[in-house]
Structure 1
């Protein structure tokens, strides 16, 4: 298949990977302004989600937060290209990482690590920065793109920095990677229609995967929380925490609820960098109408 747009993508990625960090942020915000009319659907979803999750905030404050999250999503597209194509020299000294010793200790034991995170706008750049500090690739679990040309280019780009990616539904591939003692970044905070339970996220029932403890068990792995944000100066603050006390429990639903509580706490630190443009509450409890 001839992918006519691939050379253009490669050119944009090459430029994004080599721009100074402040330029990336300025360019991303400028692109968001240019693309604003075309982002109507994403803006609407973000505003609905923010209204649901922050009901006590003033209406204008909620609108500013939702719109800021959409701007960060556009900036995140450039950060994604940067994650895939920036030379290591361009990423040097961009991140402050806490808790790397937790990850090193597990890997030194030969144990796989499920790095549990959430859908923030710069996730893959945080993974790249973690891999640079660790000195080895960190695997990623991704949703495959429906466009074959884009998916082929995405996978080539990812494989160069993370190793082969693992498809979202490739449970066997994920378990094999964990059993082989690899670190794998994983998030289960998007809408799940299978193996799920409705647990609170910002007080709203959210369909959440309950199979994570089983993945950890079958992979003979350990779960470590993996959080990150970009500060006002453009530096990335990354932290790896020790596992949550009492997790996993004997109750997969409570384990999913614990994950949502921990994620909510982190999102509140910098809510504009969370991916509010995703239809997190698409699946509703029986009898409840769609919020979108």
Structure 2
């Protein structure tokens, strides 16, 4: 009960902070970067190990530059995520712009639903907000519930306030079947680490054997949806574009694991191009192939 009360107090505090202007919050971000990077060394060893294993061909100096840029961006991402709690619809549309919404209508006009793979790359939280404006058809965001129920509910209310439906990961198939007679646009993060029990498939991702969720492939085959990638790019501080990139139009014509390999390799290409915008402080490679029997 005490923990839940403190969590609710924390959400009120976050809401109050979100009311501050973004220019002020970017000043906070500059200070936060110094604290995280130079003072408390927040997960720097994790980031350094991930970068070293992912980019063995780069020099130590090059990896150090990526690390610094990552922490700088992560501080911005944290304050932008807090700001998104109370950001107006007008402001979201101004800061997160879809470059090719016509692609979505192209598939809908053919009677095809869409499943989008996305990565923890650039500001996925703000993209989730703008996703609510994309279409009048049902928009669903698949999420992995966190251990703190209060914060999960708080951020789910934020993510869904412009029309998206939030669906817990383990209810995804049931929901898609429930809405099988509707045209739907579903987005899910494809780079989350599965549990040891769910680690059924490994691929090579950023030079390392990597356990991946098969959710995109399984759901696409069941629903025969078009597979796209939700490509987010930073234009300048606080401003982004995202592009709907077609990956697979006829999933039933693909081989086993082909869809998985396609969306994983596409994400890898984005990370290699501008690595500082991916979530390097996450322990992505904690499950090894030898750990799974």
Q: In the alignment, is the contact (CA less than 8 A) between 1:112 and 1:177 conserved in 2?
A: no
Choose from 269, 272, 275 the match for 1:268. 272
Q: In the alignment, is the contact (CA less than 8 A) between 2:226 and 2:248 conserved in 1?
A: no
Question: 1:82: how far off?
Answer: 3.2
Question: 1:165: how far off?
Answer: 1.2
Paired residue secondary structure (2:201):
strand
Range 46-55 or range 214-223, more displaced: 214-223
Q: What does 1:57-68 correspond to in 2, within 5 Å? A: 57-68=58-69
Task: Give the equivalent residue in structure 1 for 2:187.
Answer: 185
Paired residue secondary structure (2:247):
coil
Q: What does 1:1-292 correspond to in 2, within 5 Å? A: 3-16=5-18, 19-20=21-22, 22-36=23-37, 37-38=39-40, 40=42, 42-134=43-135, 138-176=139-177, 179=180, 180-192=182-194, 193=196, 194=198, 196-244=200-248, 250-286=254-290
Q: In the alignment, is the contact (CA less than 8 A) between 1:14 and 1:86 conserved in 2?
A: no
Describe the superposition over 1:104-130 as per-residue Cα deviations: whole angstroms up to 9, x where unpaired: 222344532111111124102112224
Q: In the alignment, is the contact (CA less than 8 A) between 1:137 and 1:161 conserved in 2?
A: no
Q: In the alignment, is the contact (CA less than 8 A) between 2:228 and 2:245 conserved in 1?
A: yes
Over 3 Å counting, the alpha-carbon distance change for 1:245 and 1:175 in structure 2 is closer
Structure 1 gaps, min length 5:
none
Over 3 Å counting, the alpha-carbon distance change for 1:14 and 1:162 in structure 2 is farther
| Cα root mean square deviation, aligned | 2.9
Provide the C-alpha distance between the structure 1 equivalents of 2:178 and 2:239, rounded to a whole number of angstroms. Answer: 30
Describe the superposition over 1:240-283 as per-residue Cα deviations: whole angstroms up to 9, x where unpaired: 12234775654333332222211111122321110111122111
Range 8-17 or range 251-260, more displaced: 8-17
Over 3 Å counting, the alpha-carbon distance change for 1:248 and 1:195 in structure 2 is farther
Provide the C-alpha distance between the structure 2 equivalents of 1:137 and 1:211, rounded to a whole number of angstroms. Answer: 19
Over 3 Å counting, the alpha-carbon distance change for 1:148 and 1:190 in structure 2 is closer
Structure 2 gaps, min length 5:
none
Question: 1:87: how far off?
Answer: 0.8
Normalised by the size of structure 1, how large is the TM-score? 0.84
